[in-house]
Amino acid sequence: MSPHVGSRVRSSRRSILKVVVIGAGIVGVTTAYEFAERGHQVILIDKREGAGLETSYANGGQLGAGEVAPWAGPEVPWLALKWMGRADGPFRLRLKADPEQWIWLLRFLMRCRASAREERVLPNLGLALLTQSRMDEIAAKLTSEGAPLAFDERRDGIMQIFHYERSLKEAAHGAETMRRAGLEQRVLTAAECVEVEPALASSVQRGEIVGGLYCASDRSGDAHVFTRELAARAERLGVRFVTGAEVERFETQGDRITGVRTNGWLFGGDAVVLAAGIGSAKLARQLGLRIPVYPLKGYSVTVPAGEGVAPKVSLTDEARKIVVSRFGDRMRVAGTAEVSGYDTTLEMPRAKSVLDGLLSLLPQLSAGAGEAQFWTGLRPMSSDGSPLIGQAGRYRNLYLNTGHGSLGWTLGAGSAAALADAVCGETPRLDLTPFNIKRFSFI
């Protein structure tokens, strides 16, 4: 092992690194793949029995460069108060006797300003566009090798739909910023929404929708299938995937991590990447690092798409606070945000409120409601709405790739590629400075 991965990489770009990646969700698997593709030795560790079984399992499926603004914004405290106490509200706060939660909430509230939100949009957009192009490159490579990666991807775009003129106007204003940064979004009238997505006809007839914002280049797909399949390809590239192994602690010497200890195993590497989703904060604390990443619980429901009645375009219903994506013959709806610690209990009234949102928007899907599959997951949410990527803390061979919150599918592959560039001393595809942990002033 080299004394410092940074100096080793700079002195000899061709040397083979041994990289330990902790966490096999969408972020960890794409990270492992990136290093393996560059010829490095990778150990991928997860406590679960396979890849993509935690938060990356049944998310909303949107790969939406047009929707990368952080959730923290000026309207959020008022909306939170409005929904407080409503069992079926899209937002819920359950205060815990846990300083980690309070500190995160304080940080989040401090970001509920328009300027703070705007500050994060362009960095996130860069990462989302890199994700799309990197996914294209990976797909092209695997296809050329005769083993295309199928994950129910759709390239029919994503449409945000609005129930109020004011929200539509605000969205149109935001689209200007995106347009200047190179992302085209079209403002639609209600009638144009139906032209683009005929499945919205009944909603428009009921007078619910005043208009939409359509990003034709956005996509959707099944993050779990992608993660699982890419993990298998990574193994074929030589990645050693250790499952059922919970990382419990680290061994350190001076400014280096020398070992990653699981229940029964000790792994060493030149670089250690922490990509453990909501498990990242606890592991980072052991290394003297406080990272502002806290779970935000959400629900998803998957129903049969039915014959010819389901939308092809992925949808974001701004008023109902749900996203809807089609995966082949399945429809997935996802929503709700709950600050309630690490509890993953599936509460049926809340899960049903997400299904109700889908059926009121698209009543034609009611026939499949009896076959609904409910799921809940914990978004690894950073307080400012951007992930933490790059070297961190006093251990020079520790790298973070975590805190992707509600955008892990949208930003995952780009985060992995950019991090691998940085660790391997390659020409960076993206400046990672906006994602460095140093942006948080008090840690």
Ligand X SMILES: Cc1cc2nc3c(=O)[nH]c(=O)nc-3n(C[C@H](O)[C@H](O)[C@H](O)COP(=O)(O)OP(=O)(O)OC[C@H]3O[C@@H](n4cnc5c(N)ncnc54)[C@H](O)[C@@H]3O)c2cc1C
Residues contributing to the site for ligand X (CB under 6 A): 22-28, 45-48, 53-56, 59-62, 246-247, 275-277, 279, 283, 298-300, 323, 334, 377, 379-380, 402, 404-410
CB of 4 to ligand X, least distance (A): 25
Nearer to ligand X, 25 or 311 (CB): 25
In angstroms, what is the minimal distance from the CB of 321 to ligand X?
11
Of 340 and 402, which has the nearer Cβ to ligand X?
402
Rounded to whole angstroms, the Cα distance separating 31 from 37 reads 10
Q: Report the distance separating Cα 139 and Cα 77, nearest Å.
A: 41
Q: How is residue 181 written in tokens?
A: 């940064």
Minimum CB separation from ligand X for residue 290, in Å? Answer: 17
Nearer to ligand X, 132 or 397 (CB): 132
Smallest distance, Å, CB 438 to ligand X? 20
CA angle 192, 193, 199 (to 5 degrees): 125
Q: Which is nearer to ligand X, 4 or 290 (CB)?
A: 290
The strand pairing partners of 272, in sequence order, are: 20, 398
* Residues 336, 92 contacting (CB under 8 angstroms): yes
Q: Nearer Cβ to ligand X, position 53 or 425?
A: 53
**Smaller CB separation from ligand X, 46 or 347:** 46
Task: Give, to the nearest 10 degrees, the angle between helix 114-144 and helix 165-180.
Answer: 60
CB within 8 Å of 441: residues ≥ 6 apart:
none
In the complex with ligand X, which residue's Cβ is closer, 273 or 423? 273
CB of 337 to ligand X, least distance (A): 9
Q: How many C-beta atoms surround the C-beta of residue 19 within 10 A? A: 28
Q: Are strands 330-339 and 91-93 parallel, antiparallel or unpaired?
A: parallel
Nearest distance, CB of residue 7 and ligand X, angstroms: 28
Exposed e or buried b per residue across 426-440, where buried means at least 16 C-beta atoms within 10 angstroms of its C-beta: eeebbebebbebeee
Q: Least distance to ligand X from the beta carbon of 401, Å? A: 8
Pairing assessment for the beta strands 398-402 and 388-391 based on DSSP bridges: antiparallel
- The Cα-based distances of 180 to 69, 118, 174, 233, 434 in angstroms read 15, 14, 10, 37, 19
Return the beta strands (E) in 231-305 as ranges: 240-242, 247-253, 256-262, 266-267, 271-274, 293-304
What SS3 class is residue 32? helix
The nearer residue to ligand X, 37 or 67, going by C-beta atoms, is 67
Which residue in this structure is represented by tokens 């969700």? 25
**Residue nearer to ligand X on the CB measure, 197 or 218:** 218
Q: How far is the CB of 384 from ligand X (least distance, A)?
A: 15
User: How is residue 403 annotated by DSSP?
Assistant: -
Q: Are strands 330-339 and 293-304 parallel, antiparallel or unpaired?
A: antiparallel
Rounded to 10 degrees, the C-alpha dihedral 337/319/109/333 comes to: 20
Nearer to ligand X, 223 or 424 (CB): 223
R_g of the chain computed on alpha carbons: 21
Nearest distance in Å: CB 102, ligand X: 22
Q: How far is the CB of 354 from ligand X (least distance, A)?
A: 8
Gap between the Cα atoms of 17 and 270, Å rounded: 6
Closest to ligand X by CB, 156 or 192? 156
Task: Give min distance, CB of 388 to ligand X, in A.
Answer: 11
